[in-house]
Structure 1
Amino acid sequence: MKDATQDPISHSPFSFKLQKTCSHTHGRAGVFSTPHGIVETPRFMPVGTVGTVKGLTPAQIEATGAQMILANTYHLHLQPGEELIAKAGGLHQFMGWEQPILTDSGGFQVFSLSELRKIEEEGVTFRSPRDGRLIHLTPERSIEIQNTLGADVIMAFDECPPYPAERGEVQAATERTYRWLERCVKAHQRPQEQALFGIVQGGIFPDLRVAAARSLLDFDLPGYAIGGVSVGEPPELMYPVVEATAPILPENKPRYLMGIGTYREMVRAIAAGIDLFDCVIPTRFGRHGTAMVKGERWNLKNAQFREDFRPLDETCPCYCCQTFSRAYLNHLVKSKEMLGYILLSLHNVTELVRFTQRIRAAIWQDRFAEEFAPWLDEK
């Protein structure tokens, strides 16, 4: 086992301590320290877009083992507004979550709200889906909003190109993302309280990704993310991008793969050297009556569960699995009872957090490549 301990960053409340690395892959175990606590990596982070992980209380989220959650700059700006959140004492106080928070910059909405926005060099103009008003989001405005919200980690404003897109279009978006990062760094007013992460773009083109990653190193940021994946491309095109990009990013900084939350994708990314993940999958599945169990997806509406009185997963410590049967969950989901969706969301978040905890333990014991071999194959 290689010991790759790094000295913490002395001048900042943020540090990443690399504790162990896998002897057969680039997989790594570390600790990311923030003003609101630590995040043991690799780790899955639940998404709380508007300041809430859908259907779950902060206490329930903490019970899943989650150590950091996400919120979204664009949506919180629309409702209730960053000024109100600041009056409440900041995002942690407002939503009752005392552990680390990361805010996305609004860059993903440049992709997801393509029919409601116009991209220019200065920034992006959105038409609000709420009331039709125009919202002009620039790199400077995104950072200003995030500084006001007060999350531990804030993201640079970027342009996320769609899939498929021509190489020229992707290259232009990647170059603009670099220029916007320069503006974000200059606009950031709270570097001692909030870590600004840069985002590597480049679409499905590994050479563009590598060049973008290398260019971002000049900024010496507290952390780096790989964005613009899981935007419609097949996994076999995503894996080479991550595997080419991750090792270029600094060893002593956290590496975050944005928008990823499936078993195989996380295992492959961790093997490439990724530390952090987020995705809406666990609560979205829960709201549709689907459970994530040991690598499988179960539709609890199915008749096979009607008289199945076993726990959903007998190895899972969550409240759902420790208290209720598959038959009861089947009944709740078929009756469209809110409790069923809450319980499945609770279990699903626990499942993905525990999955990354298992990987962390395997890296510590140098058995990651062996234990997770079924997820690491090429199929």
Structure 2
Amino acid sequence: MRFSVSHACKTSSGRCGEIWGLQGASDAECLQTPTCLLYTHAGSVPHLTYDMLHKIKSVDHHPALFPLPPIASFANSVQEFGAGISTFSGMSTHPSFIRIQDPMKATPSGFNDKAGVSIWDQGGRIHLNVPSFMRIMEAFKPSCYQALCDSDTPKDATRKRLQRSVERTTSLLDQCIAAKSVSSALRDTCILGTVVGGYSREHRHASVMEISKRDVDGYVIEGFHVDGPASKSLKFEEVDDLLQEVVAFLPEDKPRFMYGVLRPEFILKAAMSGVDVFDTSYANAVTDDGLVLSFRCSCDNELATMLERNLSDHQLALDMRDSVYRDQFVPLLEGCACYACRHFTRAYVNHLLSTGEMLAYVLLSVHNIHHFLNFFEAIRRFLKARH
């Protein structure tokens, strides 16, 4: 994986860039940043078949995020299959990024130790040490994977917990790098280091100084939340200063990742602070809630407004379960060109939700992912316009 900055803002740390050379992508395919990875669960985008997913504009070769829960338990089958997790899951045209935890699921606290990290799937807790984790990566053959890390730092984390998080994350990264260096199966796979430290300036600084010395292909910034829908409540102002300090110590020529169910205004402000890659778990979360993304982002003035103030929930999305929509025979969002808006109405989706039909979530997902991808196009235009 190679990364280059194509435009740097002079009034902020925001930047536009290009990622290319990903395993699983052709040499001609270039990922424009800031961008988001398609969130998947158990190897597929929730609610969507392969055919429905590919009704979304520009999604054919879009990279996908594969959280380890619950696919870690697929490792033996994927190893026997022999072609990696993307092909095994039917997403062979999508470069694959592995994350340790699932951004849609709250991570239980207190289950990591110096030997490894715990994840949870349907069968309960799975403890991953470096050898078991690397065996899974060799079976999955992803385009890029996050090294094992201990980012279990809720807001009330003690100083002792923060120190252990930093030390264990650094140690686990060193072991993952060493194991990768002797693995022929992972020769062309990229590895990401993770910056941790919670809300402590001291520990964030200690972590970024160590991780930035390592030979990795990019950086994941974690530890501000413990994942799950509750991360929607995270306000950018809570992490602004710490994020700025972390980014200032990271190399300019490597991408920065930040995963989670993050609100659009948080994502925009983080992009303005120099974060390059996010994921679509927010779009998936609002789909699960029966909501249609409706916030306006087509012009610079609308994004400038989003920077100045946080939007209320009803400004971000419409609740299609509300009976007010049962007689509205108009697209889910006026002016939207997605498949759902071109062929179906608010009244129909309201009816589907009222009767418990699965098709409701299919149509909501198509629209919400389309809208979210358009949001990132708007962010890139916005950054390029700020000289």
The corresponding residue for 1:52 is 44
Are 1:322 and 2:342 an aligned pair? yes
Alignment map for 1:103-122 (pairs within 5 Å): 103-106=98-101, 112-114=107-109, 118-122=111-115
The corresponding residue for 2:24 is 36
What's the secondary structure of 1:219's corresponding residue? Answer: coil
The corresponding residue for 2:225 is 230
Task: Please report how far the alpha carbon of residue 241 of structure 1 lies from its aligned counterpart in structure 2 after TM superposition.
Answer: 2.4
The corresponding residue for 1:8 is none
Q: What is the RMSD computed on CA atoms of the aligned residues?
A: 2.4
Report if aligned partners of 2:272, 2:383 keep a CA contact under 8 Å in 1: no
The corresponding residue for 1:71 is 66
Letter in 1 for 2:187: Q
The corresponding residue for 2:253 is 252
Which one of 138, 142, 165 corresponds to residue 157 of structure 2? 165
Change (3 A) 1:16 1:146: same
The corresponding residue for 2:307 is none
Are 1:139 and 2:126 an aligned pair? no
Which one of 310, 321, 330 corresponds to residue 310 of structure 1? 330
CA distance, structure 2, for counterparts of residue 310 and residue 213 of structure 1: 50
- TM-score of the pair, normalised by structure 2: 0.83
Are 1:19 and 2:6 an aligned pair? yes
Task: Please report how far the alpha carbon of residue 249 of structure 1 lies from its aligned counterpart in structure 2 after TM superposition.
Answer: 1.3
The corresponding residue for 2:302 is none
Letter in 1 for 2:11: H
Report if aligned partners of 2:13, 2:272 keep a CA contact under 8 Å in 1: yes
Are 1:86 and 2:79 an aligned pair? yes
Change (3 A) 1:336 1:229: same
Task: Please report how far the alpha carbon of residue 108 of structure 1 lies from its aligned counterpart in structure 2 after TM superposition.
Answer: 7.4
CA distance, structure 2, for counterparts of residue 299 and residue 27 of structure 1: 32
Q: Which structure 1 residue ranges, 5 or more long, are not aligned?
A: 1-13, 368-379
Task: Please report how far the alpha carbon of residue 32 of structure 1 lies from its aligned counterpart in structure 2 after TM superposition.
Answer: 0.8
Report if aligned partners of 2:116, 2:129 keep a CA contact under 8 Å in 1: yes
CA distance, structure 2, for counterparts of residue 278 and residue 182 of structure 1: 26
Letter in 1 for 2:58: G
CA distance, structure 1, for counterparts of residue 348 and residue 379 of structure 2: 31
Change (3 A) 1:213 1:109: farther
What's the secondary structure of 2:224's corresponding residue? Answer: coil
The corresponding residue for 1:284 is 285
Are 1:356 and 2:376 an aligned pair? yes
Change (3 A) 1:20 1:168: same
Report if aligned partners of 2:149, 2:173 keep a CA contact under 8 Å in 1: yes
- TM-score of the pair, normalised by structure 1: 0.85
What's the secondary structure of 2:292's corresponding residue? Answer: strand
Give the total of aligned pairs.
348
The corresponding residue for 1:179 is 171
Task: Please report how far the alpha carbon of residue 242 of structure 1 lies from its aligned counterpart in structure 2 after TM superposition.
Answer: 1.8
Change (3 A) 1:364 1:191: farther
CA distance, structure 2, for counterparts of residue 129 and residue 87 of structure 1: 21
Letter in 2 for 1:120: D
CA distance, structure 2, for counterparts of residue 360 and residue 344 of structure 1: 25
CA distance, structure 2, for counterparts of residue 109 and residue 340 of structure 1: 20
Change (3 A) 1:175 1:109: farther
Change (3 A) 1:193 1:340: same
CA distance, structure 1, for counterparts of residue 193 and residue 10 of structure 2: 28
CA distance, structure 1, for counterparts of residue 169 and residue 206 of structure 2: 13
The corresponding residue for 1:269 is 270
Provide, for residues 199-220 of structure 1, a one-character-per-residue CA deviation record: whole Å limited to 9, x for no partner: 0001012332122112111113
Task: Please report how far the alpha carbon of residue 136 of structure 1 lies from its aligned counterpart in structure 2 after TM superposition.
Answer: 3.2
CA distance, structure 2, for counterparts of residue 260 and residue 220 of structure 1: 29
Letter in 2 for 1:179: S
Which one of 182, 188, 210 corresponds to residue 193 of structure 1? 188
